[in-house]
Structure 1
Amino acid sequence: MTTRKSKFNIFLIIISGLFIGLAFPPFDLFFLIFPGFAVLIYNIFHAEKLAEVFIRTYIILLSAMLISISWLPLSGLRENADKFLIVGGLLTIILYPVTYMIPVFSFYFIKNQIRKLFPENIIIPLLIFPPVWIGFEYLMTLTEVSFPWLTVGNAFTTQIDKIQFIDITGVFGISAWCLYISVFLCLLYISAKKQSGFNFRNIVFALIIILLYISPDFYTTLTGSKSKYSADYNKDTVKIGILQPNINPWKKWGGKQGDLVKDYLNSLNELSFRNPKPDLIIMPETAMPFYFLHPSYDDRFQLFKKLVDSSGVPVLIGTPDLETYTNPEDVRIDSKEFSDGKKYDVFNSSILLQKNSTRENIQKYDKIKLVIGSERMPYQEKLNFLQNLIKWSVGISSYQTGNDTVIFKTESGLNFNGVICYESIYPEFFANFIKKGAEFCVVITNDGWWGKLQGTYQHNQFAVLRAIENRRWIARCANTGISGVFDPYGNKYDQTEINEKALFVSKVGQRNELTYYTLHGDYIGKITMGIWLGFLIS
């Protein structure tokens, strides 16, 4: 009997992990995350030893990640891909669940201390789980080893009727809403095990679950968000030309760059003179697989400048940028060095090329949030041996971090950001651009590494959250897809297919109102982290 029960418990643990994984895009079975976390909470709560906590939690989270982020190692199996992705991806899936032992062990410890004070009360300790978990989620957005891809709230990007309230709370508000539903599901199960049927406590827990679940709908209805779902341009519309070139990211570095430049020029020429004529054209991250602003590539720079000067349409371009330092005070601790002793750094940049631009006065933003390992090793300025630990053959390793956020300004008066790829998963970081004056947003990315794996769909969906949080239109340009436009209520327009070339003009609106979330950022993350650390210290 014990063996049969043990096997059932293991089966239930694995199933709960699969439920959590299937809640994320592209599966979008969001409702499964509620019982998935309820089982996780129950197993932590009833574990008698720390070893049990570790084993149960690890199995659940490993199962979840095998579903939700299996694209990490699988992307290494694609044509021409670096096989290190297989190793790095597998290590991430194996080790990432271990990081969550920080909030899990914290909750287990806090729960035990509370139960010593209130032995018969299970409600108070269980209510502590959400702030502990969310506090850790927030912490994961602050460090250089962060990977906030699986923030609980990220599972609800298709449920735009439910998540309109994040213009006040941000994505951590969704996490809190979801986890408290899971807590009360857990309480209902514990209560029902003790006394089944329609007893008062069971009814109360069931009613709380129902009220929690429908509460976001009240906000959506009362604020009229649902009736504003389309064509809310607010100010004059901006026509955005989007170029999705569909270039194999593994082949373009060091390949036939002359042909690539010609293809880009032809595409830009076609877009620039379309009717209606775009006000801005955007190209994807590292569209130029060379140092576009470096004097040695001046002939190519002049070709694009000539086109922009003749059309009058500004172009936002993703490119690596090599900066050689002339002022010793600008040199970083981990800056690289040429054979002649000069110091330099390479940045993953977005630049705005407009009429009369020169290499010297061009507006440029250098990516700040860099991907761990593939773009930069964490804390390499303090741990120098890490800097050259991983070398890629595709021009993306060991980037330097940018200094500050930048708002691009066109001569016609457009104000927008140029967020690059991975940065779009950091909610408060993204909101800082809007606080600084972005009236609409631009995300440029590659995503060609993943093809049609889950990562491509997940990354695209995260723009839904950023649009609603800040009530801003977002134009997204990806190398191989998915490109498109998002309105301030999370609706998607002109979404492209993956692995296709696409040239199109879409419309976005300009807005200058600031949401409560934009102004105050991740205050829920800060509060919950304070609660978590406060309980630990006390």
Structure 2
Amino acid sequence: MDRVGVIAERLPSALVLPRATRAGLVVGSGLLCAAAFPPWDLGPLAFLGLVPLFLALEGTSPGQAAWLGYAGGLSFYLAAIWWVINTMTTYGRMPLVMSLVALLLLCGVLAGYTAAFAWLLVAGQRRLHLPRAIVPLVAAGLWTALEFLRTYLFSGFPWALLGYSQYQQPTIRLLASAVGVYGISGLLVLVNAALAGLLAWTLRPRGEAGRFCEVLVPLGLAAVAVLSTVGYARLLWRDPTGGIPIRVALLQGNIDQSLKWDRGYQTAALDIYERLARGAVAEKPALIVWPETAVPFFLRRESELTLRVHRLAAETGIPMLVGSPDLGDDGFLYNAAFLLGGDGQIRGRYDKRHLVPFGEYVPLRWLFFFLDKLVVGIGDFGRGRAATVFSLDGARFSVMICYEVIFPGEVRQFVREGAQFLVNITNDAWFGRSGAPSQHLAMAAMRAVENGTYLVRAANTGVTAVVAPTGEILAETRIFTEAALVGSVRPRQTETPYTRYGDLLAWTCLVFLGAYVLALLRSRRK
């Protein structure tokens, strides 16, 4: 009998599985969860995807559980964010081998959270003697806390949080307006753990199965959680928007990333955006939105190209939100968005605050000197300070640049400052033809639900989209095409519970995690 079997014998009602079976279960779990995300979009699988992982953890030691959790997390991230290789080889000009190593390092770090989750859960069962009936609830709390930590630790990388898998599920995604995307993740883990408990109970020998109430209680909790979500969506949720609709035109220039920063291509790129903008005028928009760094030159420096942009706004008489790099008064470069009035004058500016590591700056450059080329274009950018809110015909809006939109708390801050609808400008060209542009859109859509606002999105190569406060994607473009998408938004009038209280659930889970770790440390001393 192997060590796992010996440990299982010491645990009451433990499910004994061969080592190879456990390995297969955790890898399968990772792949099932990845299939719930774009480009596959099999969202309902997320309610079952973690069941194999929970089964594999049955009867293991904390150390073994950590390795199993790590393997499951690694398989998930390799399947979900494999597109990083294309970004580094095509646009970072890194050798394929080095790109593979970088992908493995990134996925390895992210898998550490899954390993920590598995270790904590099993350690609690063994050292704190957690009753089986509350294990699913504990699992949901631990998972939620660790996802929350992943959003902030080391600059944060909350890509592919489990809750995002439900962005196409109308009823489930509305839960985010109350408890954020973290609450949806917790719900999914609770259901998975409860189902895994039921399956494990049926697989154990009859004499060792344990009491059915140990299975019934978590199943009941999961059922109540799901039914409460449905009830909230059907009975309590109200559209927070109202007033006169505002027409917004979103431009998608489809500028090749390899040409984007080429000085010789600046005029041609501006020609494309001017043509798209003038074509959209017939739809009578109140605002025309250009993507991130659509103007690849300094808009505040006078030149023939900058004069063309100002003249375009003045001739059409339509305010324009234009993405452009900017040389600040402090001498730093900024990834900025400028609001031009209908007279062509600059009416406001927002500087991106949350920069992309290795994309807009290189942390610890002395150590990662070989990644310097990933900073595309003109060098490292500085960090903006203010959560700017722009005014437009009596309505207020804020802009998030690129992956700022994947940070729930930062987007909520804009709404708390008074934004009534949200704008996301981005350049997803460096993702290539992968699931990443749709993954990025899914996260943006969840911000609309959380804050009860319309969200419009202009992406250089797509996906450009209009998202309703329900999270429904009302209109979207195909990737790698030129397009001018026009849609209507209504200003937000009231606050959602999430906007008002923020990540209260996630903070509660984080406090629980701290108390849980302290309890484990105390039990070890005893």
Is TM-score (shorter-chain normalized) higher than 0.5? Answer: yes
- Structure 2 counterpart of 1:265, from 250, 260, 274: 274
Partner amino acid, structure 2, of 1:183: A
Deviation per residue, 1:109-129 (Å, 9 max, x gap): 56535644537x333455322
Match of residue 287 from structure 2: 280
**Partner SS for 1:251:** helix
Partner amino acid, structure 1, of 2:386: D
Q: Does 1:376 align with 2:354?
A: no
- Structure 1 counterpart of 2:228, from 203, 212, 215: 215
**Partner SS for 1:351:** strand
Q: 1:207 to 1:41 in 2, by over 3 A?
A: same
Partner amino acid, structure 1, of 2:321: L
1:145 deviation in Å?
A: 3.3
- Structure 2 counterpart of 1:308, from 310, 313, 332: 313
Partner amino acid, structure 2, of 1:17: G
In 2, distance between residues paired with 1:90 and 1:432? 36
Match of residue 36 from structure 2: 23
1:100 deviation in Å?
A: 4.3
In 2, distance between residues paired with 1:465 and 1:112? 33
1:241 deviation in Å?
A: 1.1
1:88 deviation in Å?
A: 4.6
Q: Does 1:243 align with 2:258?
A: no
Deviation per residue, 1:217-268 (Å, 9 max, x gap): 222121266xx6xxx9611010111111111122121242122223322332
Match of residue 161 from structure 1: 171
Match of residue 172 from structure 1: 182
In 2, distance between residues paired with 1:424 and 1:480? 17
**Partner SS for 2:355:** coil
**Partner SS for 2:444:** helix
Q: 1:57 to 1:214 in 2, by over 3 A?
A: same
Deviation per residue, 1:1-59 (Å, 9 max, x gap): 98993333322222111111111122122232333323323434532251x23331222
Contact 1:374 1:397 in 2 (8 A): no
1:82 deviation in Å?
A: 2.9
Deviation per residue, 1:388-408 (Å, 9 max, x gap): 961347316421111121011
Match of residue 140 from structure 1: 150
Match of residue 524 from structure 2: none
Contact 2:71 2:111 in 1 (8 A): no
Contact 1:305 1:355 in 2 (8 A): no
In 1, distance between residues paired with 2:298 and 2:488? 31
Deviation per residue, 1:397-446 (Å, 9 max, x gap): 42111112101123x32311111110111111111111111111111111
Contact 1:376 1:387 in 2 (8 A): no
In 2, distance between residues paired with 1:524 and 1:322? 40
Partner amino acid, structure 2, of 1:270: G
Partner amino acid, structure 2, of 1:63: S
1:193 deviation in Å?
A: 3.0
- How many residues get paired? 502
Partner amino acid, structure 2, of 1:401: R
Contact 1:235 1:509 in 2 (8 A): yes
What TM-score results when the alignment is normalised by the length of structure 1? Answer: 0.85
Query: Within 5 A, what are the aligned runs for 1:120-519?
Result: 121-194=131-204, 200-201=212-213, 202-203=215-216, 205-223=218-236, 234-254=242-262, 255-272=264-281, 274=282, 276-295=283-302, 298-325=303-330, 344-356=331-343, 358=345, 362-378=347-363, 390-392=372-374, 394-395=376-377, 397-410=379-392, 412-519=393-500
Contact 2:172 2:230 in 1 (8 A): yes
Structure 1: which 5+ residue stretches go unaligned? Answer: 326-343
Contact 2:62 2:120 in 1 (8 A): no
Contact 2:53 2:69 in 1 (8 A): yes
In 2, distance between residues paired with 1:55 and 1:118? 21
Contact 2:60 2:122 in 1 (8 A): no
Contact 2:166 2:173 in 1 (8 A): yes
**Partner SS for 2:247:** strand
Q: 1:414 to 1:388 in 2, by over 3 A?
A: farther
Contact 1:475 1:486 in 2 (8 A): yes
Match of residue 102 from structure 2: 91
Deviation per residue, 1:442-488 (Å, 9 max, x gap): 11111111233010111112222111111101111110111121111
Match of residue 46 from structure 1: 59
In 1, distance between residues paired with 2:428 and 2:267? 23
Contact 1:347 1:402 in 2 (8 A): yes
Q: 1:102 to 1:280 in 2, by over 3 A?
A: closer
In 1, distance between residues paired with 2:270 and 2:468? 32
In 2, distance between residues paired with 1:106 and 1:207? 23
Contact 1:243 1:267 in 2 (8 A): yes
Match of residue 340 from structure 1: none
In 2, distance between residues paired with 1:33 and 1:46? 24
In 2, distance between residues paired with 1:117 and 1:490? 41
Partner amino acid, structure 2, of 1:434: V
Q: Does 1:108 align with 2:93?
A: no
In 2, distance between residues paired with 1:392 and 1:176? 35
Identity of aligned residues (%): 27
Structure 2: which 5+ residue stretches go unaligned? Answer: 6-16, 520-526
Q: Does 1:33 align with 2:46?
A: yes
1:269 deviation in Å?
A: 2.4
Partner amino acid, structure 2, of 1:290: F
**Partner SS for 1:304:** helix
Partner amino acid, structure 2, of 1:355: G
Match of residue 530 from structure 1: 511
In 2, distance between residues paired with 1:156 and 1:113? 29
What is the CA RMSD across the aligned residues, in angstroms? Answer: 2.9
Q: 1:34 to 1:269 in 2, by over 3 A?
A: closer
What TM-score results when the alignment is normalised by the length of structure 2? Answer: 0.87
Partner amino acid, structure 2, of 1:377: V
**Partner SS for 1:149:** coil
1:139 deviation in Å?
A: 1.6
Which one has a larger percent helix, Structure 1 or Structure 2?
2
Deviation per residue, 1:310-332 (Å, 9 max, x gap): 2220100111111242xxxxxxx
1:500 deviation in Å?
A: 0.8
Deviation per residue, 1:255-299 (Å, 9 max, x gap): 421222233223322323x1x41100000001011222234xx32
1:209 deviation in Å?
A: 4.1
Contact 2:396 2:419 in 1 (8 A): yes
In 2, distance between residues paired with 1:13 and 1:241? 45
Q: 1:473 to 1:186 in 2, by over 3 A?
A: same
Match of residue 14 from structure 2: none
In 2, distance between residues paired with 1:428 and 1:146? 12
Contact 2:475 2:487 in 1 (8 A): yes
Q: 1:5 to 1:38 in 2, by over 3 A?
A: same
Match of residue 82 from structure 1: 93
1:211 deviation in Å?
A: 4.1
Contact 1:69 1:93 in 2 (8 A): no
**Partner SS for 1:161:** helix
Match of residue 12 from structure 2: none
